[in-house]
Each structure stands twice: as structure tokens, then as C-alpha cells.
């Protein structure tokens, strides 16, 4: 019998673009294949992985090391103008390509918002055959699945902006039939409301569509207005999963705990990005151990 403690929970995978599909005004789904995906073990829900994206002048990702003990220092040691860009993304779906196939396909949904973002720029140029590297799960039970409702959860509350919408959609796919869900999803365009949610099964999805031509309330206030208009499920022990822009996530968490009496220990919150901060700045804070706490008992 294999001792699971000796099995690495994460390892490197080479991903090859199989195809791309525009699935909304702001979203592009990239489907990856590759023989190494036979060892990829997604835990589902909001399973994340880290992608290493080549710079615009590079055709494929090349890493100086994939050794679990040396890769990070080696990657950080690459000059800025040559270092592959590391970004975290959600596994939207994974499936076998055919009966008995040795390789899987992996779907990742990218938000397209111009060429200034390295990930958006790469995804917009991705073609079949493009190869990138990733660190992902080699076992299904892994710490990169943040959606962990406690036993006895009777209903789910959700908030996601466009950066967290693929994770929210993957979570909804796996929730038991008939589970009460109240969700607020914020997107930049009407055509981004691409989630197909069957009616009559307990799921209520409320969309907030931002209109650049009409400033309206601040980002956090739009989300709070939507939540204040929600009637929460009449069942005990709701579990809340909220993810997206850090300031909005904090405001929604505070609302649920202080105004709606949701147990703070049953609120999973994650800031995927922060207004006014670049992705590189957030990465630098994470490297320095300065990332905001996601502990349920942290200050509201």
C-alpha cells in the first residue's frame, strides 16, 4: 500500500493549447492537452493552479528548473525581461479525451481586458500548439481547493466578480441538486452572463453588470446593494464563498457577518486582486509574507 505522505501534492505539468473558444464578451476559454495531464488530479470546486506564461517575444514557456526544491529561486533569478509570468487560475473543467485515453483535457477561462495584462495578452494570442508550464495538483485532496464547507451546511451564499466567476461556475457545477444558493455575480458586460443555471432547483443568481458609461455607485456599494436585496435561505448554517476584488470582498464579508449574522467561521473569502495595485505588486507582497489574512477570525 502506498504511503500518501510520500507523494508530492503538487508538481509541474506541460500544457499544450488544443483550442480556444470565446464564451462571453470578456471571457476566453483555453483548452489544454498534453501527456503530462494524465497525472493531473483536480479536487474540483475552486481548484487553482499556477501558470507560467511566456513573454510576448517568447513562443513557449521555458523554466530554468522544475525541481521542487530549486525552481522558485531559479525562476526568481531570471532577469525581468526574460522571466515567465506566473499567475494563478482556476480549473474550470477536466475530462478524459476518450475511453482509455492516457491524457486529459483541461479548461481554463481567461478574462480578456487588453494587452497591458500579461495573462490577457497571452490568452488573446494563444493558438493550437502553444505550450506553457504549470504547477498543479498531483492529488485531489489538496490545499488549493478553498471551497471547504463544514459538515451540516444547509445553504450556500456566493459573491464573485469576473476574475472569480470561473471558480464560482465550477463550484455550482458540483453542488448537490436542490441545494439553496443565493449568489451575486458582477461582470463588466451584459454578454458576460454566460452561466447557465437551471431554474427551480434552489439556485438564485443575481447579476450586477457594470456600465463604463454610467459610473453609478462604487464597486463595493453595488455588491452590497445586491446583497441587501437578497432574502437569505431559511435554513441554518449557511456557508459563504466570496472572491474577487479585495476591497469588495472585505465589504461583503463584513455585511454577511455583521448585518446578516452569518457565522464568520463559515465565510471563505479570497481577494483575487486589489484596486490600485498591480499584479506584480501583489505577488511581491505575497513573497514578502505581507498578503492579507484569509483566516475566518481575522479582523472584519
Fold agreement between 4-137 and 155-287? no
Residue with cell 528548473: 65
Pairing relationship of beta strands 85-90 and 48-53 according to DSSP bridges? antiparallel
Where in the chain are the domains? 4-137, 155-287
Angle between helices 246-254 and 219-228 (to 10 degrees): 30
Residue in 61, 56, 13, 20 with CA at minimum distance from that of residue 37: 13
Query: Binning pLDDT at 50, 70 and 90, where does residue 8 land?
Result: confident
Query: Binning pLDDT at 50, 70 and 90, where does residue 290 land?
Result: low
- pLDDT tens track for 147-186: 999 888 889 999 999 999 999 999 999 988 888 999 999 9
The architecture (CATH level 2) of 155-287 comes to 3-Layer(aba) Sandwich (3.40)
- pLDDT tens track for 80-102: 999 999 999 999 999 887 766 65
* DSSP 8-state code for residue 55: P
User: Are 270 and 158 spatial neighbours (Cβ–Cβ below 8 Å)?
Assistant: no
What is 4-137's CATH superfamily?
Answer: Translation factors (2.40.30.10)
Residue in 279, 159, 147, 140 with CA at minimum distance from that of residue 207: 159
Q: What is the pLDDT of residue 217?
A: 65
Query: Binning pLDDT at 50, 70 and 90, where does residue 214 land?
Result: low
Q: Structure pTM?
A: 0.90
Distance between terminal CA atoms of the chain? 46
- pLDDT tens track for 25-36: 999 999 999 888
Residue with cell 472572491: 243
Rounded to a whole number of angstroms, the CA Rg of the chain reads 20
Helix and strand element counts for the chain (H, E): 6, 12
Query: Binning pLDDT at 50, 70 and 90, where does residue 219 land?
Result: confident
Amino acid at each position: 500500500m502506498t504511503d500518501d505522505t510520500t507523494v508530492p501534492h503538487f508538481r509541474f505539468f506541460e500544457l499544450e493549447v488544443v483550442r480556444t473558444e470565446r464564451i462571453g464578451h470578456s471571457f476566453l476559454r483555453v483548452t489544454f492537452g498534453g501527456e503530462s495531464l494524465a497525472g493531473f488530479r483536480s479536487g474540483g470546486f475552486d481548484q487553482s493552479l499556477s501558470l507560467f506564461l511566456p513573454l510576448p517575444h517568447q513562443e513557449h514557456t521555458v523554466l530554468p528548473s522544475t525541481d521542487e526544491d530549486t525552481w522558485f529561486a531559479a525562476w526568481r533569478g531570471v532577469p525581468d525581461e526574460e522571466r515567465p509570468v506566473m499567475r494563478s487560475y482556476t480549473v474550470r473543467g477536466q475530462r478524459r479525451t476518450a475511453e482509455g485515453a492516457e491524457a486529459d483535457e483541461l479548461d481554463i477561462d481567461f478574462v480578456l481586458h487588453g494587452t497591458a495584462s500579461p495573462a490577457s495578452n497571452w490568452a488573446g494570442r494563444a493558438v493550437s500548439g502553444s505550450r506553457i508550464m504549470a504547477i498543479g495538483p498531483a492529488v485531489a485532496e489538496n490545499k488549493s481547493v478553498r471551497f471547504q464547507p463544514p459538515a451540516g451546511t444547509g445553504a450556500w451564499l456566493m459573491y464573485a466578480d469576473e476574475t472569480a466567476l470561473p471558480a464560482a461556475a465550477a463550484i455550482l457545477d458540483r453542488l448537490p441538486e436542490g441545494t439553496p444558493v443565493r449568489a451575486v455575480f458582477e461582470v463588466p458586460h451584459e454578454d458576460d452572463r454566460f452561466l447557465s443555471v437551471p431554474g427551480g432547483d434552489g439556485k438564485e443568481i443575481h447579476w450586477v453588470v457594470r456600465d463604463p458609461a454610467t459610473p453609478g455607485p462604487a464597486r463595493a456599494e453595488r455588491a452590497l446593494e445586491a446583497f441587501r436585496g437578497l432574502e437569505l435561505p431559511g435554513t441554518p448554517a449557511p456557508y459563504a464563498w466570496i472572491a474577487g476584488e479585495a476591497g469588495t470582498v472585505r465589504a461583503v464579508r463584513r455585511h454577511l457577518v455583521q448585518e446578516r449574522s452569518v457565522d464568520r467561521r463559515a465565510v471563505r473569502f479570497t481577494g483575487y486582486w486589489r484596486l490600485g495595485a498591480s499584479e506584480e505588486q501583489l505577488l511581491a507582497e505575497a513573497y514578502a509574507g505581507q498578503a492579507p489574512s484569509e483566516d475566518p477570525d481575522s479582523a472584519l
